[in-house]
Amino acid sequence: MEFARFRDDHAKYAALGAEIVGVSSDPPARNLQWARELRLPFRLLSDPDGRVSRAWGVWDETWNLSRRATFLVDRAGVVRWVDLGGLAMETDRTLAALSALARAR
């Protein structure tokens, strides 16, 4: 599961002042099961109808599903960095971008 790498790197994100929030198209009961099984230390939200994915521009109408994406959003709600289509297992890019943003503060 993609969220496992974010779980494994959670302390690195926290050290940079970041809060991880996962969003999945699975229903709430399934996400609760995933969160428990994977022992996720962050919130995992459900978007079963794709409303959030559409609002963030990552819904694929052809396949009727959300594309994988990672967003770095600052405290003011401004999107500072986006990784579209990447695998969550590749969190090195996200951590590098977050580090650069933290240095720029």
Kindly tell me the sign of the dihedral angle through the C-alpha atoms of 40, 4, 87, 30: negative
**CATH number for the domain including 89?**
3.40.30.10
Residues listed for the chain? 105
pLDDT in tens, 78-94: 999 999 976 655 788 99
pLDDT of residue 90: 72
Q: Work out how many domains the chain is built from and give that number.
A: 1
pLDDT in tens, 30-82: 999 999 999 999 999 999 999 999 999 999 999 999 999 999 999 999 999 99
- Listed as own residue / partner, the contacts of 85-90 with beta carbons closer than 8 Å and 24 or more positions apart are 87/2, 88/2, 88/3, 88/5, 88/6, 89/2, 89/5, 90/5
pLDDT of residue 89: 59
Distance of CA 84 to the CA centre of its chain: 11
Provide the residue range defining the domain that includes 28: 3-104
The beta strand positions in the chain, using DSSP E, are 21-24, 43-46, 59-60, 65-66, 69-73, 79-84
pLDDT in tens, 6-26: 999 999 999 999 999 999 999
